[in-house]
Structure 1
C-alpha cells in the first residue's frame, strides 16, 4: 500500500467541495492479529513505519498506553490497540507494524496497528450499527461494514480516548456552563433538533443543554431520522400556515452517522428544502478542510467535540440574541 499517495489530503479546495453531501465516507482498513478494523480517513493524519520511531516509555502509563513519540516536533500519546482490545496473540510482523497518527477532538494521538490494508469509499447506508449484545462485548466498536469476504469493524476512537483519559473526551466543564447559565436566560423557548448516533454523547450533550436551560430538545439518532422529522414539520407548516420556527429554531448535528451523515443532512435541509433554520455542525472531525465542507453545505456554524460550551455560545448568539455575525466564535 502506498501510504503517501493513498492518504494524501485532497489536492485543492475544488476537490473537497465535489465530495460534500454525497452521503459517502472513506474508511481506512487495517488489521490487528488477523481481524480487520476501520476508521474514518478524515481522522487519519499520517501513517508511519513503527521501526522508524522511538517510543518513549512512561514510568506508570495508563492501561493501553505504550508511551509517546515525537510527531512534527511535539510529543504525542501512543495507544496500544492490542492491549485495549484484549488481543494477546503473537507480536505483529515488525516489517509491517505501523503507527496510525490521528487527529480528532482537537487532539493528535497515535495508535499502534499491525498493518495497513486499503481505503474503501462506502455509503453511510451500508454502515451497520452494532446490536446491543455485540456492544456489551465490544464497546470499542460502533459499527460494521460488510465487504465481499470479510467484516470490517469500525472503531470508536473517541470512546477509546475517553476511556484512557476522561479529560480528553466528552467531559463536562461545569465552570463554563455555570458562567453561561448566569449570563444568558431564558432558553426554554428555543426549540432544537439534535442528531447524534452515539447514545453516550447524545445523552451527555442533551443533559448539558438542559442544564443551561435548553429544555425543548428533540433527539434523532442519525441524519435520515432527523431529516424525516424536518420534512414532517415542513409539511405541517405548509398545511397550517405556521412558520417553521414554531417547530424548530435550530438544528444541531454530528457528521459521522449511519444511514445519512450530517453534511448530507445539512445540504438537504439548506439546499433541497430551502430552509433558513440555522444548522450547527458539532463533530470531532472539525479542522480546516471540514470547515470548508461545512460552509459548502450551508452550515451556519460548527464546533469541535467536546466543546459544548462553544455550542451553547453559538446558540445564544444566533437565536437568543438574534445576532447574524458569529465569526469570532468560529475562528
Structure 2
C-alpha cells in the first residue's frame, strides 16, 4: 500500500502522523518520511553476520536492497507476534531509503504540532532518544518514534558527516566564534552531534533548543530587550538553524513567525532537515527560509553558514 499524500500549507504547524502497532502499544511516524507500506515477506530478506540484533538484514525492494530493522527489538519491546502478521514501513529520509518491521498499521491523522508533548517532559530513561514526543489520538496515547536516531544507532555513518579538513582550516575559523546561532532540533542525538561538529569548526556561540516553540520564545524575549535599549540586553542572533518536524512548533512555523511576527527578516534562517525534497523546498521558500540543507550534509551546512555570515 502506497502512502496517500495530503499537501499541507507551509508554516501552519500541521503534520500528518501514520500510526502503527508494536504489540498493543500505539506508535507514530511522520507521513513525510514514509515511502510505502508492505506485507512482511521473509523470503525477500538476506541476513547479515555481525550486525546489531535489531538489524534483520537487507531487504529486496524495487530492485535494490535496503536495511530492514525490527522496530520492536530496537525499542526493547517483546511483542510475541509471528512474522505472518507483520508489516514493513519503508521510509526515505537523510538521503537514504530504509525499512522498519512493525506489527500492524492503523491510519493517517492530521494533527497540529502544538498537541505534542516533547519527550523530555515524561521520559528520562535511556530509550528517550528513540522517542521524540507523545500525542493523544482516538483515546490512545501515541509515542512518536525518532526513526533517525534508531537508524543512526545501527548505521552510525547516517548520523552526520564529519567536517572536511578544508573547512576546519578555513580562514573564517577565527571569525566563527563571534557568530551567535539559534538552533532548534528535537532529536537529542542530532542536536548534540551537530553542536559538537559546529564547535569543532569554530561556531561555539550556539543556543540550542529541543523544539521550535522554545526557540521562538527566546527570540521574542531578545526582540523585546533589543527594543528596550538596555545595556545588558541579549543581542539578536546572527543566524537561525532549524529542523522542520518538531513538537509544539515546527521549523517552518518558527521561520514564518520569526520573520513575520517578530520582524526578523534580516536574520537568515537555514532549514536543516531529513525531509528536504522538491515539495519541502517549495514550502521552505514560501515561508521565507534563506537556505535548506538535507541531513546528514554537515559540510554543506558549514559552507552555507560561512557564506551567509561572511560573504553578505
TM-score in same-fold range (> 0.5): yes
Contact 2:18 2:30 in 1 (8 A): yes
How far apart are residue 132 of structure 1 and its match?
A: 7.0
Distance 2:132 2:151 in 1: 14
Which of the numbers 220, 231, 235 marks the counterpart of 2:220?
A: 231
Question: Which residue, 141, 146, 169 being the options, matches 1:156?
Answer: 146
Matches within 5 A, 1:19-168: 19-51=9-41, 54-92=44-82, 94=84, 96-131=85-120, 134-136=123-125, 138-139=127-128, 140-168=130-158
The Cα of 1:131 is off from its aligned counterpart by 4.3
| Structure 2: segments with no counterpart, 5+ residues | none
Q: Does 1:181 align with 2:168?
A: yes
* Deviation for aligned residue 1:90: 2.7
Distance 1:27 1:128 in 2: 14
In 1, distance between residues paired with 2:302 and 2:104? 41
Q: CA deviation at 1:160?
A: 0.7
Shift of 1:313: 0.5
- CA shift in 2, pair 1:137/1:187, >3 Å: closer
Q: Within the alignment, does 1:8 sit opposite 2:12 as a pair? A: no
Number of aligned residues: 307
Whether contact under 8 Å (1:126, 1:259) holds in the other structure is yes
Q: Aligned match of 2:203 in 194, 214, 227? A: 214
* 1:30 shift after superposition: 0.5
Would the alpha carbon gap of residues 239 and 157 (structure 1) be closer, same or farther in structure 2, given more than 3 Å must change? same
1: CA distance between counterparts of 2:132 and 2:211? Answer: 13
- Corresponding position of 1:262: 251
The answer on whether the counterparts of 1:196 and 1:254 sit within 8 Å (CA) in structure 2 is yes
CA contact (8 A) 1:125 1:258 kept: yes
Query: Can you give the 5+ residue segments of structure 1 that lack an aligned partner in the other structure?
Result: 323-331
- TM-score for both structures, normalised by structure 2: 0.90
- Is 1:42–1:285's contact at 8 Å kept on the other side of the alignment? yes
Using a 3 Å threshold, how does the CA distance of structure 1 residues 65 and 211 change in structure 2: closer, same or farther? same
Match of 2:289 in 1: 299
Structure 2: how far apart are the matches of 1:227 and 1:251?
A: 11
CA contact under 8 A between 1:55 and 1:69: conserved in structure 2?
Answer: yes
Partner of 1:329: none
Q: Are residues 134 and 221 of structure 1, via their aligned partners in 2, closer, same or farther at CA, if it must alter by over 3 Å? A: closer
Q: Which runs of 4+ in 1 moved over 4 A?
A: none
Task: Let me know the Cα RMSD of the aligned residues.
Answer: 2.4
Distance (Å, rounded) in 2 between the aligned partners of 1:44 and 1:81: 15
